[in-house]
Amino acid sequence: MLSMTKKPGCITLLALIMLGVAPVYAENAATTAQDNAVPGWQKTCKTYAVWGEAAMQAHQQGVKLDRVFERANQPVFDGIRKHLLKIAIDAYETPLTASEQEQSKVRREFYNDVYLQCAKQHLHSD
């Protein structure tokens, strides 16, 4: 069994990370002339990927899954909550890693995997 040392403020860090996704999602929902150059599906995929990276970080730091689910219950996530919960579950099914370097790699790969799957789904549906 992998021994994970919890760092002080881990829950606070989770709150900041997960709350950081809400502004990204809200920002993506507001459109400007400049935003129109970026397809909506790319904004959606980025939101999912940022959420996935945050969920993976929480998992790797030993935060309980129900805490992550609580963050998905923010009103700003109405309409995409089910997708966020599935992404969090996928993150928590990933094995824990020991070193910070490995954790960073796992977070980056998970971000890319979530974005890639989202992009494939949107591009195949067009």
pTM reported for the whole predicted model:
0.73
Calpha distance 54→80 (Å, rounded): 16
| Token pair belonging to 34 | 């400049």
Longest Cα–Cα distance in the chain: 52
Would you state the pLDDT for residue 3?
30
Q: What is the pLDDT of residues 32-89, one digit of tens each?
A: 445 567 889 999 999 999 999 999 999 999 999 999 999 999 999 999 999 999 999 9
* Residue type for position 23: P
Calpha distance 53→12 (Å, rounded): 16
Q: What is the pLDDT of residues 83-113, one digit of tens each?
A: 999 999 999 999 999 999 999 999 999 999 9
